[in-house]
Structure 1
Amino acid sequence: MEILSSLVPIILFILLFWLILIRPQQKRQKQVKEMQTNLQKGDRIITIGGLHGTVHALDEGSLVLEVEDGTKLTYDRSAVREVVQSS
């Protein structure tokens, strides 16, 4: 019985750690992954480097961005931070 009572605080600490830190991070990662897989041609996006552009073409793991002056740049899908405006 003493062993069980000494393990309860450790188990509670691990459970609390998981609820506060790990679970919310997993939810955020899932949302980002979903956003990156749902990209469509014409979406206005911002990359993790701060580049603003429009999705010109999509491939399985990459995309081509067209910026304001007509320049086209190729990026990995994982470089997309957020979608500003969906097409």
Structure 2
Amino acid sequence: MAQRILGALITFGEGTAAPAGAPGGPMQFLVSMGPMLLIFAIMYLLLIRPQQKRARDHSEMVTRLKAGDRVVTNGGLHGTVTGAKEDTLMIEVADKVELEVSRAAISRVTTKE
């Protein structure tokens, strides 16, 4: 039984072999592109998806900001949110010193002291 299957595979392989110098079929194309597709899939899973998740989490964090939250900006300024507009926040960085910063400039929310 095994010899019949092996014989059929050899016959099938001989019958479908391309002449020397002839371009390969679609299967040859898939075999040659396989490693590149595998590398792209790994890059997507290791680099692109985590970055998308971080961006989504940051966007949600920025939209949830409200008065009283302690924040740190991308420039390193620490302050307390005193007011919020659609695209900007008012943060108090010192006694009676308020700055208007873009929501996108908020790096993280820190714990209240």
- After TM superposition, the score normalised by the length of structure 2 is 0.72
In structure 1, the gaps of 5 or more residues are none
The correspondence for 1:53, drawn from 79, 82, 106, is 79
Looking at structure 2, the residues matched to 4 and 52 of structure 1 have their Cα atoms a distance apart, in angstroms, of 54
Please report the RMSD computed on the Cα atoms of aligned residues, expressed in angstroms.
1.1
1:79 is displaced (CA, Å) by: 0.7
Higher relative contact order, chain-length normalized (CA < 8 Å, sep 6+): 1
DSSP 3-state at the match of 1:50:
coil
Q: Which residue number corresponds to residue 41 of structure 2?
A: 15
Deviations 1:12-49 (A, max 9, x none): 11101111111111111111111101001110111111
Q: Which residue number corresponds to residue 69 of structure 1?
A: 95
Give the paired residue count: 86
Higher Rg of the two aligned structures:
2
Greater strand proportion:
1
Moved over 3 A (4+): none
